Amino acid sequence: MLIHVVKTRETLWQIASSYRIPIADIIETNELLDPNQLVIGQALIIPSEGIYHIVKSGEYLWKIAQTYNTTVQSILENNTEITNPESIYPGLVIYIPASTHSIQPGETLWQLAQKYGISLQNLIKANNIVNPALIYPGTVLVIPSKPKPPINVNGYIYLYGDNAVPVVKKDGAFLSYLSPFAYLINEDGSLQSIFDLPAIQAAREERAVPMMSITNFTTTSLGENLAHIVLNSTVITERLLNDIINVMKEKGYLGLNVDFENVLPIDREAYNRFLELTVTRLHAEGFFVSTAVAPKTTGEQKGLLYEAHDYEAHGRIVDFVILMTYEWGWRKGPPQAISPLNQIKRVLDYAITVIPREKIYFGFQIYARDWLLPHIQGQEAETFSVQEAMVRAINYGANIQYDSVTQSPFYRYTDEQGRGHEVWFEDARSAQAKFDTVKDYKLNGISYWALGYPFPQNWALFQDNFTILKY
């Protein structure tokens, strides 16, 4: 797939024509709410199994053909605007068609997947094959251009009851794990129950493993004193673990995610001991254990969020660790990128030195925020979906800008009351930059916070980058 950034006065018809694909394919892939309304700076995914190569200074057609294992003649046949092969110029977009294969008698899809070094799942998906048994000699198949690394995907969701079901049904195909958030711990070690059975059942139908989540904090309480009480009492800890195991067995959870936040620095070792005990008890019952940790850049980082989160200990004790690499642009702080990639890489640079890469999950937020300007300390930003961010950009005629340092899009607008606003969100460019980072650092997973904020471009790009692991 290719990402196209809308320019001044560009129309969808012009964009579709330049890439030789139907307008309907762009509309469907990006789930455009109003195809007649594009925003300058908007990033669109261009769906194609082929490759679009942008000519660089000093490049020649024969060299480009060699790079993509094709011929100059094939390139010319698929790019009729090139009238003189010797005079291509920097910036020219050249279409390199995908490889194809005409099925011969006796060949199977499995054999072809093996031959081309791709997964059977990707071969079927690339050709929209409904029934693999109904493939006949002479059928021409598109061969996906690159193998996709396998990856684990967790999705947190804080919608309960029947409200969770349509979200899980829509996104469940992309998930290895689903984590309803969350069971709040009481001071006596008991748990406040949540109505999570509909989400669990929907997850199972989508082959997403239900992962129970427990926490010590709420939107109105940091939870540091609660954590101190629970972590330093063997009686309370024992009751908590018993309740966790009972809930997991009763509701069909297969794993646990521990999200203790704002733990007092003096309770760092107590938290580590709790995790060791939790893993011992739950592994004996056949369950896995993960944790969620604040985004640290050093082992000595100060602050209530960070000091008690011992990366090295978590990496040694639990089965995997979710890095909460988001919320730099938090709802009560000043406007800025919510998940700035330059900051995230600092966290990853430290994390990989103390946690095995195969245990690290990259935290990915999929929502937008709108701050009033000028920002007043403590004034809360509005949180909504990426789709809503695009609607506002269209309605207010905003031009989308892209910050190259944080790898994040943003825009500003003035509302009907004359108030200034600044919106930070995610788009195809920022999502691809994060996927590239996951691959560059060779991480084992991605964890989304949180499902229920529509961001269709994310999932389209995700399929283009990874093979989702299912259990």
Residues contacting 412, CB < 8 A, separation 6+:
373, 398, 420, 421, 422, 423
Query: Residue 245: which of 197, 274, 281 has the closest Cα?
Result: 281
Tokens of 256: 């646990």
Tell how strand 360-365 and strand 320-323 pair up: parallel
Tell how strand 445-449 and strand 150-157 pair up: parallel
Tokens of 260: 């203790």
Residues contacting 251, CB < 8 A, separation 6+:
196, 197, 200, 210, 212
Tokens of 425: 């969100």
| Structural contact between residues 207 and 470, judged by C-beta atoms closer than 8 angstroms | yes
Residues contacting 154, CB < 8 A, separation 6+:
175, 176, 177, 178, 179, 211, 257, 322, 361, 445, 446, 447, 448
Tokens of 90: 């920097």
Distance CA 426, CA 132 (A): 36
C-alpha to C-alpha distances, 52 to 2, 122, 148, nearest whole angstrom: 7, 20, 18
CA angle 56, 60, 64 (to 5 degrees): 80
Write the DSSP assignment of 100-123 as a string of letters: EEEPPTT--HHHHHHHHT--HHHH
Interior/surface letters 7-18, b for 16+ CB within 10 angstroms, e for the rest:
eeebebeebbee
DSSP 399: P
Distance CA 143, CA 117 (A): 10
Catalytic residue among 10, 49, 77, 261: 261
Residues contacting 8, CB < 8 A, separation 6+:
40
Is 416 designated active site? Answer: no
C-alpha to C-alpha distances, 176 to 166, 274, 347, 409, 467, nearest whole angstrom: 17, 26, 24, 28, 11
Q: How many CB atoms lie within 10 A of CB 229?
A: 16
Write the DSSP assignment of 215-229 as a string of letters: ES--SS---HHHHHH
Catalytic residues: 261
